Chains A and B, each alone.
Chain A
Amino acid sequence: KAGVTQTPRYLIKTRGQQVTLSCSPISGHRSVSWYQQTPGQGLQFLFEYFSETQRNKGNFPGRFSGRQFSNSRSEMNVSTLELGDSALYLCASSLGTTRSYEQYFGPGTRLTVT
């Protein structure tokens, strides 16, 4: 079974631009969670999608948004990029059902904002 894939793996953007990151979960998984990792704040939860609906959201500004498609693939978008958005963005997939808490992480997308 293929693992979680994320594209692109590396990205360089300029302040003020927007960016879209993609995550393809493991086949059969319906939940995709997104996390941001920075040296200063560590790992933080961004949001989770389950069956095309946002199920939970972390404490991030509205510039961060996401969506999930019917095939469970998910995208996250960051608009009006700031230098502080430079980070490793990770997604994790899981079955998403009650008591199935195992999460499988993708390799991440490293975003650099200049």
Chain B
Amino acid sequence: KNEVEQSPQNLTAQEGEFITINCSYSVGISALHWLQQHPGGGIVSLFMLSSGKKKHGRLIATINIQEKHSSLHITASHPRDSAVYICAAHYGGATNKLIFGTGTLLAVQP
């Protein structure tokens, strides 16, 4: 059973739209990562959160520790944002092991 759930699995948006991708996890974590992967490409780390909110350009990530939930928002979406977005939970302890969500395939149409 995957301990990290993501939704939606697929998302199509028009350029300029505000996008939200959700991630929930089952037990307390030390950190939550948001990753981006373009088709055929490697993985880029966007954010690492343990509390609150982080912003980088048009990307915003939030986490609610009590509700065990995180969201990734993209404002003013652009076709170059088309990629797979993956959340990953770090459950702490003496390890860097990550548990991954199944990913959200985002397509932004011009």
Contact = CB atoms under 8 A, between A and B. Distances in A.
Contact of B88 (A43, A99, A102): A43
B42 A105 contact: yes
Contacts, number: 59
Nearest to B2: A42
- By secondary structure, the A interface counts as strand
A107 B42 contact: yes
Contacts of A75: none
| Size category, A interface | 20 to 34
Nearest to A55: B95
A48 B42 contact: no
A44 B98 CA distance: 8
B102 A105 contact: no
A101 B96 contact: yes
Interface string B24-62: 000000110101000000111100101000000000000
A55 B42 contact: no
A103 B103 contact: no
Contact of B33 (A33, A58, A103, A106): A103
Interface string B54-98: 000000000000000000000000000000001010100011111
Q: Which 4 A-B residue pairs are closest in the complex by CB-CB distance?
A: A56-B95, A43-B100, A107-B42, A101-B31
